């Protein structure tokens, strides 16, 4: 059911996906981080004229960096995605805040993780199924962190 709602959100956007970013999105979702990284590194960021493309690019680079255990790079890419996309309709900035919290948690910075997860719940985008799921996960992570439960 969520996949149908996600497809509705994607089709309602006023622009087509950027092909290399879309390929990278699927590769990241499938856990093929090194293949996604090659594609992402071939993209000239300055040529991404759509802010949504720029924001998703930064989010995907953050996910690759996190998978490679480069938490500082992951957080830096997340911060860039948040700055680019915080006022946009897409969910990328909220997801970047969620990912940044996970990266901060991995480097044992629980206060920074909490700040990012709280931020994720405050970015509303267009209030779609993506945002709902991100908010749900962020709230769970906040509750676990506040109760002292590990991850």
pLDDT-derived band at 94, boundaries 50, 70, 90: very high
CA contacts within 13 A on the Cβ side of 114? 10
Range 63-83 average pLDDT:
98
* Residue in 107, 130, 110 with CA at minimum distance from that of residue 118: 110
Residue 107 has pLDDT above 90, yes or no: yes
- Over the stretch 36-69, which tens digit does the pLDDT of each residue have? 999 999 999 999 999 999 999 999 999 999 999 9
What pLDDT is recorded for position 1? Answer: 47
CA contacts within 13 A on the Cβ side of 91? 16
- Over the stretch 1-18, which tens digit does the pLDDT of each residue have? 455 555 555 656 667 889
What pLDDT is recorded for position 148? Answer: 75
pLDDT-derived band at 77, boundaries 50, 70, 90: very high
- Over the stretch 112-146, which tens digit does the pLDDT of each residue have? 999 999 999 999 876 678 899 999 999 999 999 98
C-alpha distances in Å from residue 118, one per residue of 18, 86, 105: 30, 14, 14
């Amino acid at each position: 059911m969520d996949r149908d709602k996600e497809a509705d959100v994607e089709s309602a956007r006023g622009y087509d996906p950027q092909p290399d970013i879309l390929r990278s999105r699927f590769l990241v979702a499938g856990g093929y981080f090194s293949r996604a990284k090659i594609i992402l590194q071939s993209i000239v960021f300055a040529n991404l004229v759509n802010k949504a493309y720029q924001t998703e690019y930064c989010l995907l680079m953050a996910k690759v960096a996190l998978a490679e255990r480069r938490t500082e790079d992951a957080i830096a890419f997340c911060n860039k995605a948040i700055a680019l996309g915080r006022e946009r309709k897409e969910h990328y900035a909220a997801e970047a805040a969620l990912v940044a919290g996970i990266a901060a948690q991995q480097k044992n910075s629980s206060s920074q993780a909490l700040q990012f997860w709280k931020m994720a719940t405050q970015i509303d985008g267009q209030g779609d199924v993506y945002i709902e799921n991100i908010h749900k996960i962020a709230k769970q992570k906040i509750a676990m962190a506040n109760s002292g439960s590990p991850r």
